[in-house]
């Protein structure tokens, strides 16, 4: 079972005190912003940095998600700009539309893949068991 957190960058400053507690316990994070709101996109860098600080890590499983792509005529953050930030932060990026249910499930699936890959890279390699007790002898008659 994988536990992850969705970090909504759209505001709710009254809950900011609880944010670091969520960051401490999360195993992976969706950094979601609205492509129709410049301010939510501008918060991504800050939240990414805060997660790394709270986790005391140089990298951690995160996925940046641009939401509301169905509102193309209201878009103020373009895909190329978001991809550039994701490359700078060294995290994957994808776009979705919650209203149209486009890529919403895929964002969570991708986050699980990112978390699993990270956890496998953190796990020390298993040492093969070469004890003589477990070796079987072969006899040819």
Delimit the domains of the chain by residue range: 17-118
Q: What is the pLDDT of residue 115?
A: 92
Tell me how many degrees the CA angle 84-105-38 measures, rounded to the nearest 5: 35
Q: What is the pLDDT of residue 70?
A: 97
82 is written with which tokens? 């978001």
The pTM of the full predicted model, rounded to 2 decimals, is 0.79
Task: Give the pLDDT confidence of 78-131 residue by residue, as tens digits.
Answer: 999 999 999 999 999 999 999 999 999 999 999 999 999 999 998 877 666 655
Task: Give the pLDDT confidence of 56-69 residue by residue, as tens digits.
Answer: 999 999 999 999 99
Average pLDDT over the chain reads 85
Phi and psi (nearest 5°) for 64? -90, 130
What mean pLDDT do residues 23-48 have? 92
Query: Is the distance from CB of 60 to CB of 93 less than 8 angstroms?
Result: no
Q: What is the pLDDT of residue 1?
A: 44
Q: Which CATH number fits domain 17-118: 3.40.50.300, 3.80.10.10, 3.40.50.2300, 3.90.1150.10?
A: 3.40.50.300
Question: Which uninterrupted H or E stretch holds 45?
Answer: helix 38-55
% of the chain beyond a pLDDT of 90: 65
Provide the 3-class DSSP secondary structure of residue 27.
coil
Q: What is the pLDDT of residue 92?
A: 97
135 or 32, higher pLDDT: 32
Establish how many alpha carbons lie within 13 A of residue 63's alpha carbon, considering only the half-sphere containing its beta carbon: 26
Q: What is the pLDDT of residue 22?
A: 77
């Amino acid at each position: 079972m994988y536990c992850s957190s969705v970090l909504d960058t759209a505001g709710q400053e009254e809950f900011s005190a609880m944010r670091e507690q969520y960051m401490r316990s999360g195993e992976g994070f969706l950094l979601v912003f609205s492509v129709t709101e410049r301010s939510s996109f501008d918060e991504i860098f800050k939240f990414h940095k805060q997660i790394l600080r709270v986790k005391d890590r140089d990298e951690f499983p995160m996925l940046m998600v641009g939401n509301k792509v169905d509102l193309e005529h209201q878009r103020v953050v373009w895909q190329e700009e978001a991809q550039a930030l994701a490359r700078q932060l060294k995290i994957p990026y994808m776009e979705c539309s919650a209203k149209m249910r486009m890529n919403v499930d895929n964002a969570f699936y991708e986050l699980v893949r990112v978390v699993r890959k990270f956890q496998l890279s953190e796990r020390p390699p298993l040492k093969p068991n070469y004890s003589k007790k477990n070796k079987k002898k072969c006899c040819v008659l």
